[in-house]
Amino acid sequence: MDKTCCNTNGPVYGDAKRIVVFGDKRSYDANNGKSFNGFGIYIDENAKGISFEEYMETQKLSLKEDYKVITGKKPDTSEAKVNVGSIEATLLKGYAWWGDVVYLQIPNTAKFMVLSKSETSPGVFDQIFDE
């Protein structure tokens, strides 16, 4: 994974700042700059002080609308609770046209962390993280 080769999409609602993006140079498509295996980490300072539940509902709605605009189709969505270390997070699958997104509230703060995953080859992250 390379932190200089690529860029990925982050949250479509809020004011998230990109912290870092890691991409697989071998899968990067120089013609359009979007086709690669990688992930980004974003932090939303949550200046409005909304709850995590409200943030998630707004993200889901915004992502579904964005998906329809980009692809012309209705997304096939699902969500699951996952752990990022010892912190419970929410995984949204099928909401974003570019890949999966994981959201969590940073403990003891009002801030949210967003992990955005882009895969051109489904299942490639299982391979990468197993290496």
Give domain status of residue 70, yes or no: yes
Cβ-based neighbours of 1, under 8 Å, separated by 6 or more: 22, 23, 24, 38, 128
126: containing domain: 16-130
Question: What is the per-residue pLDDT across 22-34, written as a single tens digit (0 to 9) for each?
Answer: 666 665 554 355 5
**Cα–Cα distance for residue pair 125/48, rounded to 1 Å:** 34
Token couple for 106: 């940073």
Give domain status of residue 68, yes or no: yes
Q: How many domains does the chain have?
A: 1
Mean residue pLDDT across the chain: 80
Residue 119 has pLDDT above 70, yes or no: no
Give domain status of residue 10, yes or no: no
**Residue 68: which CATH number?**
3.40.1000
Give domain status of residue 30, yes or no: yes
